[in-house]
């Protein structure tokens, strides 16, 4: 049996199997090299994201944030929304909210020439009720384009308000404390000026 397996006629079969194995090995090596290159390149290129978030210091305010979470500089960042983006949409109830303006300047309109790694642009958008009146339930689709050297990159996101329904809009305790300290300092200045006036009147 062994003589049959290792006979002269069996050598072409083993040669073919060896060739196939070598080809598969070369293919796997090429795929691995390509994926490693892509991973390294992705770590060294910019990654621009756009999202809506609560302002941590003004809990009733929603912000639009443009941020580069990648590892290199993004240049010539441009934005194309599916419809006009409202701004200054303030109001604590939909009924009482004033009509919002249309965003006519700022990063989302004029673009961002340079956005470094970890850098961001934070835009005050408005309050929940005012934005619900201006935007509604349907999000604004926004596409953006930017460059990394000679390469052109792109991304897309949604500016939406509906998911913030029922979220905590209470004031940040640190902001409340800071505001109260300001009020106390102002009261102290008023009392000090009144005492000074009383002293002057007594001296007269």
DSSP states of 143-178 = EEEEEETTEEEEEEEEE--GGGTT---PPPHHHHHH
- Write down the residue that tokens 């003004």 correspond to: 58
Mean pLDDT of the chain: 79
Query: Do 81 and 141 contact (CB within 8 A), yes or no?
Result: yes
Is the pLDDT score of 93 beyond 90?
no
pLDDT digits (tens, 9 = 90+) for 96-127: 888 889 999 999 999 999 999 999 999 999 99
Q: Please compute the mean of the pLDDT values over residues 64-72 and round it to a whole number.
A: 96
Reported as a pLDDT band with limits 50, 70 and 90, residue 179 is low
Cα angle: 152, vertex 155, 128; to 5 degrees: 145
Is the pLDDT score of 170 beyond 50?
no
**pLDDT greater at residue 61 or residue 20:** 61
Q: Please compute the mean of the pLDDT values over residues 32-60 and round it to a whole number.
A: 74
**pLDDT greater at residue 10 or residue 167:** 167
Query: Do 88 and 100 contact (CB within 8 A), yes or no?
Result: yes
Q: What would the CATH number be for the domain defined by 48-164?
A: 2.60.40
Q: Which long-range contacts (CB under 8 A, 24 or more apart) does 93-97 make?
A: 93/129, 94/129, 94/132, 94/133, 96/129, 97/127, 97/129, 97/130, 97/133, 97/134
What distance in Å separates the CA atoms of residue 183 and residue 89, rounded to the nearest whole number?
A: 28
The predicted pLDDT at position 58 comes to 85
Statement: the pTM of the whole predicted model exceeds 0.85: no
Task: Choose among 189, 167, 151: nearest CA to 42.
Answer: 151
Reported as half-sphere exposure (CB side, CA atoms, 13 A), residue 82 has a value of 11
Q: Please compute the mean of the pLDDT values over residues 127-145 and round it to a whole number.
A: 94
- Considering only the C-alpha atoms of the chain, give the largest distance between any 2 of them, rounded to a whole number of Å: 130
- Write down the residue that tokens 């007594």 correspond to: 202
| Beta strands per DSSP E along 55-168 | 61-68, 74-81, 86-87, 101-102, 112-115, 120-127, 140-148, 151-159
What distance in Å separates the CA atoms of residue 204 and residue 194, rounded to the nearest whole number?
A: 16
What distance in Å separates the CA atoms of residue 104 and residue 57, rounded to the nearest whole number?
A: 26
85 burial (CB, 10 Å; 0-12 / 13-18 / 19+) is buried
Query: Do 142 and 82 contact (CB within 8 A), yes or no?
Result: yes
């Amino acid at each position: 049996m062994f003589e049959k397996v290792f006979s002269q006629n069996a050598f072409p079969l083993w040669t073919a199997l060896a060739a196939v194995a070598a080809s598969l090995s070369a293919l796997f090596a090429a795929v691995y090299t390509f994926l490693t290159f892509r991973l390294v390149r992705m770590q060294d290129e910019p990654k621009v994201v756009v999202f809506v978030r609560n302002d941590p210091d003004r809990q009733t305010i929603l912000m639009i944030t443009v941020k580069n979470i990648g590892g290199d500089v993004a240049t010539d960042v441009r934005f194309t929304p599916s419809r006009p983006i409202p701004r200054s949409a303030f109001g604590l109830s939909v009924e009482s909210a004033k009509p919002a303006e249309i965003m006519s300047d700022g990063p989302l309109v004029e673009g961002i020439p340079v956005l470094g790694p970890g850098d961001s642009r934070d835009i005050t958008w408005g309050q929940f009720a005012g934005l619900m009146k201006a935007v509604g339930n349907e999000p604004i689709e926004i596409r953006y384009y930017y460059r990394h050297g000679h390469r052109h990159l792109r991304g897309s996101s949604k500016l939406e308000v509906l998911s913030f329904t029922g979220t905590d809009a209470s004031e940040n305790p640190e902001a409340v404390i800071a505001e109260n300290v300001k009020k106390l300092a102002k009261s102290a200045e008023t009392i000090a000026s009144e005492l000074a006036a009383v002293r002057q009147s007594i001296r007269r």
